[in-house]
Amino acid sequence: MSDARSGAVPDLTTVPDLVAEADLTAEAAKLDADDGLRDKRELFVLDETVYLDGNSLGALPAHVPGRVADVISRQWGELRIRSWDESGWWTAPERIGDRIAPLVGAAPGQIVVGDSTSVNVFKAVVAAVRIARAADEGRDEIVVDATTFPTDGYIAESAARLTGCRIVPVAPGDVPGVLGERTAAVLLNHADYRTGRLHDLPGLTRAVHDAGALVVWDLCHTAGALPVGLDEHGVDLAVGCTYKYLNGGPGSPAYLYVRADLQPRFDSPLPGWNSHAEPFGMRPGFAAADGAVRGRVGTPDILSMLALEAALDVWDGVGVDAVRAKSLALTDFFLRCVGAYVPQGRVESLTPAAHAERGSQVALRCAGAGDVMRRLIERGVVGDYRAPDVLRFGFTPLYVSFGDAERAARVLADTLD
């Protein structure tokens, strides 16, 4: 039997007798007993449900309600306006950004938290075009991931209209072939939201830089699940949400990364009083603040922002490399269980076999996927469905166990049978 950590993924069109007869339940128990992250599971509010939708909304860290209650009752209820200074509300966007920074491989002072992912994509893409054009006015193309989450495409098209650029949609693997002297900015997703396929951030970043352009990475489906290495790979700008693998809560604020040496040239298309050099000067003319503060716009969403800050406590003492190792082991093991349990020919894995190309989710193509997922949820296995035929299972290593993976595959098999 192949080891769960080997990276070998079975051909799901066949069911080898040895795997079919293996005691995968016992193996799951042993893997859970050896799991160095197993104690983190106790930090979350969980029940008997197998929750494999953390790539849409992360589970609630158990201590967050108490912290939010303090923000509401004491900081807001008692201190009121004094909390902007005494409770640190004013500096929260940068303070929380510095807590996210090590999870995406960034030094402090380069991430600001606030607004939605869509708003931050808009800021980043327009700013990238402006920086590129300041050096070369002839750059008038924005290359965008043709397989991207739809909103990123909508935002890129709006940014193109605003800046007078044209959009060049292309699959991530084909990006190097369309880059040239007219390329201003490139917007890419680190992982495909449907299949979980991981794109080559280091290689594509180098290719964009070799063409004299800037790159913007969307980290929504990777931050908190695997190493990103923003500083190491010289990424220009990046954005991401915090309600998936970072467990910040529904609608929790997104973040914007601006590489330190680009910050003096970061010209936001949404300047606001919070990004002014003298925010309380109330001057009619705008003068941008120094550093990542330039990425701010208006008054921060304090309640959701401080809920996120509390949620990040679950990362204390956790290395992203350990999270990545467990993620790969979990997805390998789940695919083995699917291969052993699910009737032949009923599902097809869209998840890359190679670890270097895999995020932290498993996508299975399945006839009647929407109805299958509805029945799975009724039976206590929560994933999600992507039209027209994809079952999507997200694996959050801080709280998903190998026992969860085995049970999910078993219930899937029973449902399809």
Quick check: is 266 catalytic? Answer: no
| Catalytic residue (one of 259, 358, 392, 410) | 392
Query: Active site residue: 44, 51, 122, 149, which one?
Result: 149
- Whether 70 is catalytic is no
* Amino acid residing at 402: F
Q: State CA 283 to chain mean position distance.
A: 37
Which of 244, 296, 336, 358 is labelled catalytic? Answer: 244
For 258, the enclosing helix (H) or strand (E) is strand 255-258
At 30, is the secondary structure helix, strand, or coil? Answer: helix
Candidates 35, 152, 218, 301; catalytic one: 218
Q: How many residues in total does the chain contain?
A: 417
Annotation says 218 is catalytic: yes
In angstroms, the CA 302 to CA 311 distance is: 14
Question: Could you give the CA distance from residue 286 to residue 407 in angstroms, rounded to a whole number?
Answer: 57
Instruction: Give the integer Cα–Cα distance in Å for 242 and 296.
Output: 17
CB 132 within 8 A of CB 124: no
Is residue 2 within 8 Å of 353, Cβ to Cβ?
Answer: no
Catalytic one among 122, 243, 334, 399? 243
Helix axes 320-341, 402-416, angle to 10 degrees: 30
DSSP string, 97-162: HHHHGGGGT--TTSEEE-S-HHHHHHHHHHHHHHHHHHH-TT--EEEEETTS-HHHHHHHHHHHHH
Report, as residue numbers or ranges, the catalytic residues: 149, 218, 243-244, 392
